[in-house]
Amino acid sequence: MNLYGIRAIYKFEMARMKRTVMQSVLSPVISTCLYFVVFGSAIGSRMGDIDNISYGAYIIPGLVMLSLLMQSISNASFGIYMPKFSGTIYEVLSAPVSYVEVVIGYVGAAATKSVILGLIILATAKLFVDYTVLHPFWMLSFLVLTSITFSLFGFIIGIWADGFEKLQIVPMMIVTPLVFLGGTFYSIDMLPEIWQTISLFNPVVYLISGFRWAFYGVSDVHVGISVGMTMVFLALCMTAVWWIFKTGYRLRS
Amino acid sequence: MQPDISVRHLNKTYGDGFQALKDINLEIERGEIFALLGPNGAGKTTLISIICGIVNLSSGEVKAAGYDIVKDYRKARETIGLVPQELNTDSFETVWDAVSFSRGLFGKAPNPDHIEKTLKALSLWDKRNNRIMSLSGGMKRRVMIAKALSHEPQILFLDEPTAGVDVELRRDMWEMVRKLRESGVTIILTTHYIEEAEEMADRIGVIRQGEIILVEDKAQLMTKLGKKELRLQLQQKLEQVPGELTLEPVELANDGWELIFTFDSQQEQAGVARLLRTLGDLGIEYRDLQTRESSLEEIFVGLVHE
């Protein structure tokens, strides 16, 4: 295994995060804090509890998940798209690195950034809302697993995209609506039955439900199903990446 | 001794059906400078890209330093350094970081001494902490070379290395290439500057429409295909080539004040002596004469337009 190669890619990507700390870290932290202030402290104080949890605390897992998904996709897609755009991808393609090593380097760095960001957001949330974490191990596990899965998804988008517009389409047009309709601000039990059924086709429901269970021990679906669905999505992304490198899709002609 | 690069029956057809390479066979020996010449779109960059692993081959077999580029891609690629045609650099990185990144990517442990040596050799040491975006085009080209040399490759590909580079830097690069060859590195360069190939190459390959049409030792190529020209400035103007010379490759120029005799460089002695004897017999006198050898560029143009 080319460990130096993995380290080179990983270090390069982490250095990019340091260079763009305003955009990579501060910006998502501030925008998520605004949600905490508006929905947690201001509006939340006038709303009733959900599952005996204050509204401000209830929405924390969903909001962290929103940032986690968006940043994982954004970090990983940008990480692989930029070398394609600037032409420096030639170096990665001509280097003695396997596709597994390339993915570990890019996706590992993107996931690391997302986990760091998620933990910063959680720490910041304490300033606005009082919350507890019943299952810290599972909370961290969901954080890491979701970051890896959606960084892989972002990696796929970065390879697929042939312009900056396409990099934005999936996060903005698909992931954001799925997160907002996936139980970030409410329990899906509060929806009419038909919408509850429809919601179960939204994969983000399982992520938010499992993450919320790690905080408060309550969930919309069983935590085992949440873990299973996350693993299924991870497996789908890994299959897609394997196919991309096997065929050279948009990388090697 | 096995060749450093071995290409056998290589074919490449792109997804749109365009056949870029047709049954390429080529061997490049260890430590030689091989110049690959060809017009735009001939397949030079495709051939290099396949050997380096950037483009997939359609059929055939390619080995670098004895390793198959598909089955033993790690070992094959470890031996290769590539300076691509385009100035593709990470604008926001410093020179030091960019070159160190390349070394790591190619599986080599960090070695600041080697990076320092490389940067000094390329006159980049003073710029090591500068971001690449702040460098001139010529300096960026040097960074590309430093990146390619960062992992101490055995084989170096230079794809149009001096395109857009000023004369001084071009001379510096030629000098650097010679030093690399002296250290045992095999160098394959593509170029539009025939002067470059003429100056540096040991052997020349010419590719046309995806086919290698010639591989020859440079000196032999110049001798075999080179033409010489004898120009005679006449004392008296001639209206037409005298009948005694019509069988010779002779033509009039400069309104009849100049006679040009073109001959193969291999048979120069006999041809020139015969021409001068005939002119003497005809009483045609001349004020001055010059000979001139055809350049590699003229040979190349002749080959690709055949």
* Band (A50; pLDDT cuts 50, 70, 90): confident
- Per-residue pLDDT at B269: 61
Among residues B222, B251, B272, the one where a domain terminates is B222
Tell me, yes or no, whether B16 and B148 share the same domain.
yes
Nearest one of B101, B91, B99 to B132, comparing CA atoms: B91
| B164 pLDDT higher than 80 | no
ipTM of the complex: 0.87
B56 touches chain A (CB under 8 A): yes
A84 CB neighbours in chain B (<8 A) are: none
Tell me, yes or no, whether B56 and B201 share the same domain.
yes
User: B88, A86: Cβ pair inside 8 Å?
Assistant: yes
- Per-residue pLDDT at B306: 63
- Enter the tokens of residue B257: 């004040």
* Band (B55; pLDDT cuts 50, 70, 90): very high
- Per-residue pLDDT at A187: 84
Tell me, yes or no, whether B175 and B240 share the same domain.
no
Tell me, yes or no, whether B58 and B9 share the same domain.
yes
Tell me, yes or no, whether B169 and B258 share the same domain.
no
A252 touches chain B (CB under 8 A): yes
Structural domain that includes position B179: 5-222
Average pLDDT over residues B72-100: 92
Tell me, yes or no, whether B246 and B110 share the same domain.
no
Tell me, yes or no, whether B63 and B92 share the same domain.
yes
Determine the Cα–Cα distance for residues A130 and B57; give it in Å rounded to an integer.
60
* Closest Cα in chain B, distance from residue A146 (Å): 27
Average pLDDT over residues A76-93: 92
Q: Which of residues 196-235 of A touch B (CB under 8 A)?
A: none
Tell me, yes or no, whether B129 and B246 share the same domain.
no
What's the mean per-residue pLDDT of chain A? 90
CB pairs under 8 A between A and B: 84
Tell me, yes or no, whether B262 and B291 share the same domain.
yes
Tell me, yes or no, whether B119 and B138 share the same domain.
yes
Determine the Cα–Cα distance for residues A71 and B160; give it in Å rounded to an integer.
40
Q: Which of B84, B90, B101 sits opposite A8 (nearest CB)?
A: B101
User: A96, B77: Cβ pair inside 8 Å?
Assistant: yes
User: B147, A4: Cβ pair inside 8 Å?
Assistant: no
pLDDT of B247-279, one tens digit each? 778 889 889 999 988 877 666 566 788 888 888
Average pLDDT over residues A138-162: 93
DSSP B178-189: HHHHHTT-EEEE
CA atoms within 13 A on the CB side of A111: 22
- Domain containing B234 — which CATH number? 3.30.70
Tell me, yes or no, whether B202 and B241 share the same domain.
no
Q: Which of B15, B106, B110 sits opposite A96 (nearest CB)?
A: B106
Give chain B's domain count: 2
Among residues B222, B254, B275, the one where a domain terminates is B222
* Band (B205; pLDDT cuts 50, 70, 90): very high
Mutating which of A21, A91, A104 best tests the B interface, going by the most B Cβ atoms within 10 A?
A91
A93 CB neighbours in chain B (<8 A) are: 52-54
* Burial state string for B82-121 with b = 16 or more CB within 10 A and e = fewer than 16: bbbbebbbbeebbbbbbbbbbbbbbbbeeeeebbeebbeb
- Domain containing B218 — which CATH number? 3.40.50.300
pLDDT of A182-238, one tens digit each? 888 888 888 888 888 888 899 889 999 999 999 999 888 899 999 999 999 999 999
Among residues B169, B188, B222, the one where a domain terminates is B222
Model confidence, pTM? 0.84
- Per-residue pLDDT at B268: 54
Tell me, yes or no, whether B146 and B246 share the same domain.
no
pLDDT of A123-136, one tens digit each? 999 888 888 999 99
A109 touches chain B (CB under 8 A): no
* Band (B166; pLDDT cuts 50, 70, 90): confident
Q: Give me the percent of chain B exceeding a pLDDT of 70.
A: 94
What's the mean per-residue pLDDT of chain B? 88
SS (H, E, C) chain A: CCHHHHHHHHHHHHHHHHHCHHHHHHHHHHHHHHHHHHHHHHCHHHCCCECCECHHHHCHHHHHHHHHHHHHHHHHHHHHHHHHHHCCHHHHHHCCCCHHHHHHHHHHHHHHHHHHHHHHHHHHHCCCCCCCCCCHHHHHHHHHHHHHHHHHHHHHHHHHCCCHHHHHHHHHHHHHHHHHCCCCCCCHHHCCHHHHHHHCCCHHHHHHHHHHHHHHCCCCCCHHHHHHHHHHHHHHHHHHHHHHHHHCCCCCC
Q: Which of B52, B86, B107 sits opposite A87 (nearest CB)?
A: B86
Chain B residue with Cα closest to A247: B56
